[in-house]
A and B are shown apart, each in its own frame.
Chain A
Amino acid sequence: MTSTQTTSAPTDTGREITYSEAIREAIGQAMEADERVFMLGEDIGIYGGAFGVSGDLYHRFGAERIRDTPISELGIVGAAVGAALAGMRPIVEIQFSDFTNQAMDQIVNQAAKIHFMLGGAATVPMVLRAPLGSGTGAAAQHSQSLEAWFAHVPGLKVVMPSSAADAKGLLLSAIDDPNPVIVLEHKLLYRTSGPVPEEAVRVPLGKTNVVRRGSDLTIVATGVMVSRSLEAAGILADEGVDVSVIDPRTLSPLDDAPILEDVGRTGRVLLVQEAPGHGGFTAEIAARITESPTIYRLLAPVKRLSGLNAPIPYAPQLETASVPQVADIVDQALTIMKES
């Protein structure tokens, strides 16, 4: 695993907890503050969640509000849509984001569109949390990064927290939001730690985070690629290359201004994602850069570093080779520097 890192979220005590604990803390605080908030999903009760995220919430809040379900993703998400329409604030946990495929009708055709189709007469304030990404040896059906699918659907907000503080703060904002919000957590981040405020501090949705400010090159990354990019930034600094690392955090709606501003300043950009490149989310960022006057400030072509256009394989050496690693980011950054 890569190193931990901080974000712009305020911290008072410097207390460090894991990404997983931060999510649990957010859910617990939201449930204490608002009785409309409840959780439903597979094995979230006594079992504590497939990745241990719900933990002891069942013992604190009981079986009604930490609601174990049968294995039926479509039914679970649909029930959350209906409960949200009827005034509750459900948080759905899907065990692996790959399984959202089972529930796509309710996510894409129902949750995302109801507010619009009814001319604004109803809202669907639900949160769907799901772990994404590779790195656990779980192979092709448990390791995908499908964020671009969700970001492509009007009416869904899509969040990818890359630190413990963001995991808590963005989730609290997602629960407050009157719209359906997809929160894509990275499996490899669950056990990483970082400073997280004890209070229920919100990180606003739709606010890009400039994690590190540099002068030579802008790296835009999401999920676990943020910490890999920060590690690469440290190595690049030793090579005399000073890079910015920017994490959009919310993919939809996208706050592109800080990205355009920073790329305009450095003149070089490397877009990093774990997902396959073809049709990927970084293509959207690349397009925003080339559609804006920022294009005239570029000293080098826009570069993307993505996962291979292939399913995630099982063998560890194959899996590692399928998605960008720290060394790949360093290499790409140095190539851009040389070519400009």
Chain B
Amino acid sequence: MTDAPMATAEAARHALHTMWSIRRFEEAVDDLFARGLMHGTMHLSIGQEASATGVCMALRPDDAITSTHRGHGHCIGKGADLTRMMAELLAKETGYCRGRGGSMHIADVATGNLGANGIVAGGIPIATGAALAYRMRGEDRVVACFFGDGATNEGAFHEAVNLAAIWKLPVVFVCENNKYGMSFSTEKSMAVENIADRAAAYGIPGVTVDGNDVSAVYEATRTAVDRARAGEGPTLVENLTYRWKGHSKSDKNLYRTKEEISEWRALDPILRFEHDLKESGLLSEEDIQGIRTQAMEEMRDAVRTANSAPDADPSDLLDAVFAPV
């Protein structure tokens, strides 16, 4: 990446394409689920696309991420293949986890995604450990660790951030603060105003960012990544954002108002970025339409290809319980 990626047309195109890919992927998943064509549950990140995109653009391809139960965007942002992701959610043998993981455990190790996680805060110590491995081997790779606001009330968060801080490990702790841990609001769950305030307890920088502004997310992450790569240790980056949909498929949204949801929908990070791009003249209306169309066609392709793949096969179900010695 260049130093100021949103300032070049190429980077802006990449950012917008990534955000539309995430949005279209999750809309497709939402639709397939509603029509009974996809089973299980899933946690959609619609409305949070700027966070996944801005953070991942600040990383090198050989940097790693750990992700959450709301992880489709992180996976796409890091460069995973949409067809293999869709195949996993459609319970196909060609899915990233051969049908053993599903939405909550999706990962593409090849693009540096060390795994989504069904346990709130479960991935945070793992990110610290991966960063420890890089440091011990003298590699200048960085780990971006995604988690939600709810995770910062878990012990795992405190233990892992403390370890990374005392060892000055190359981790960027990225909190996607979407205001709710399932139905429990951050106002009720924390006595501090910002999650970034908690960084002070570990002696590391904490920064609160407008998480619906992809450029701001990129800039803050980039600063944190540079600091991590230089051996100066972790940073806590808090992206203030919002999930438009419920926590999961069982959510009736009784804990928040329609007004609140529509206020945040008006702050759509994708439309806002498009507006900024047109204002600055970086991309034209035609460019933007082209990216939208491309993202839609790629998604249709992914669904079509994934649907025609063979189903996950129970005959070798046990083969991955243990890795062969």
Query: Which residues does A use to contact B, with CB under 8 Å?
Result: 38, 64-65, 69-70, 72, 74-88, 90, 105-106, 109-110, 114-123, 125, 154-155, 157, 176-179, 205, 253
State the CA gap A194–B130 with chains docked (Å).
Answer: 38
CB-CB nearest in chain A for B325: A177
B323/A78 in contact, CB under 8 A = no
In the complex, which residues 145-186 of chain B have their Cβ closer than 8 Å to any Cβ of chain A? 155-156, 159-160, 162-163, 166
Output the least CB separation between A317 and chain B (Å).
38
Q: In the complex, what residues of B have CB within 8 A of residue A85's CB? A: 114-115, 126, 129-130
Docked CA distance A110–B119 (Å): 9
Q: How far is the CA of A69 from the CA of B160 in the complex (A)?
A: 11
* Cross-interface CB contact of B155 among A74, A122, A125, A178, cutoff 8 Å: A74
Question: Which B residues between 122 and 138 are near A, CB-CB below 8 angstroms?
Answer: 122, 124-134, 136-137
**A110–B166 touching, CB < 8 Å:** no
- B206 neighbours in A (Cβ, 8 Å): none
Chain B interface residue count, CB cutoff 8 Å, equals: 46
Residues in B with CB closer than 8 Å to A253 are 322
A120:B98 contact, CB within 8 angstroms: yes
Docked Cα-Cα span, A82 to B319, in Å, equals 23
Residue among B130, B160, B166 making CB contact with A86, cutoff 8 Å: B130
Closest to B322 in A: A179
A79 adjacent to B134 (CB under 8 Å): no
Contacts A86-B134, A121-B97, A155-B322; A79 near B119 (Cβ below 8 A): no
Q: Which of B117, B155, B162, B320 has the most CB of A within 10 A?
A: B320
Write out the residue numbers on chain B whose beta carbons fall within 8 Å of the beta carbon of A74: 125, 155-156, 159
Contact A82 B127 (CB under 8 A): yes
B220 interfacial by beta-carbon distance below 8 Å = no
Known: A82-B114, A86-B64, A86-B114. A122 touches B107 (CB 8 A): yes
CA distance A17 to B265 in the complex (A): 69
- Least CB distance from A259 to B in Å reads 21
Give Cα A133–Cα B97 distance, bound, in whole angstroms: 39
Instruction: Compute how far the CA of A10 lies from the CA of B257 in the bound complex, rounded to whole angstroms.
Output: 72
CB <8 Å contact, A82 and B322: no
Residues on A with beta carbons closer than 8 Å to the beta carbon of B132: 79, 82-83, 88
CB–CB A78/B160 < 8 A: yes
Contact A119 B95 (CB under 8 A): yes
- Flag B61-88 by CB within 8 Å of A: 1 or 0 each: 0001010000000000000000000000
Tell me which of A65, A70, A120 has the highest count of chain B C-beta atoms within 10 A of its own C-beta: A120
Q: Please, which residues of chain A bring their CB within 8 A of the CB of B98?
A: 119-120
| C-alpha spacing A78/B155, complex, angstroms | 12
Interface centre among B128, B134, B159 (most CB of A within 10 A): B159
- Cα–Cα, bound, A286→B97 (Å): 36
Instruction: Determine if B100 and A78 form an interchain contact, defined as CB atoms under 8 angstroms apart.
Output: no
Q: Are B163 and A69 in contact (CB under 8 A)?
A: yes
Residue among B129, B132, B166 having the largest count of chain A Cβ atoms under 10 Å: B129
Give the residues in chain A near B118, CB-CB below 8 Å.
109
**Residues A121 and B129 in contact, CB atoms below 8 Å apart:** no
When the two chains form their complex, are residues B131 and A82 in contact, meaning their CB atoms are under 8 A apart? yes
Show 22 A/B contacts (Cβ-Cβ < 8 Å), sorted by A: A75-B163, A77-B125, A78-B125, A78-B126, A78-B159, A80-B129, A81-B126, A83-B130, A86-B114, A106-B126, A115-B321, A116-B321, A117-B97, A117-B101, A117-B115, A118-B97, A118-B107, A120-B323, A122-B109, A125-B323, A177-B325, A179-B325
Closest to B97 in A: A119
B residues near A118, Cβ cutoff 8 Å: 96-97, 100-101, 105, 107, 109, 115, 320
CA of A90 to CA of B137 in the docked complex: distance in angstroms?
13
Known contacts A75-B160, A84-B129; A116 and B320 CB within 8 A of each other: yes
Nearest residue (CB) in A for B125 is A78
The residue in A79, A88, A116, A155 that gathers the most chain B C-beta atoms within 10 A of its C-beta is: A79
| A326 vs B97: C-alpha distance when bound (angstroms) | 50
Q: Please tell me if B99 contacts chain A, counting CB pairs below 8 Å.
A: yes
Residue of A nearest to B117 (CB): A110
Q: Which residues of B contact A86 (CB under 8 A)?
A: 64, 114, 129-130, 133-134
Residues of B within 8 A of A38 (CB): 136
B36 contacts partner chain A, Cβ-Cβ < 8 Å: no
* Residues B136 and A115 in contact, CB atoms below 8 Å apart: no
B314 interface residue (CB < 8 Å to A): no
Whether B133 lies near A87 (C-beta < 8 A) is yes
Taking CB atoms, residues of chain A closer than 8 Å to B131 are 82
Please name all residues of chain A whose beta carbon is closer than 8 Å to the beta carbon of B323 when the two chains form the complex. 115, 120, 123, 125, 178-179
B281 at the interface (CB under 8 A from A): no
In contact, B122 and A106 (Cβ under 8 angstroms):
yes
Whether B133 pairs with A82 at a CB distance below 8 angstroms is: yes
> Smallest distance from the beta carbon of A208 to chain B beta carbons, Å?
17
Selected from A75, A87, A117, the residue in CB contact (under 8 A) with B156 is: A75
Q: A81–B127 Cα gap in the complex (Å)?
A: 9
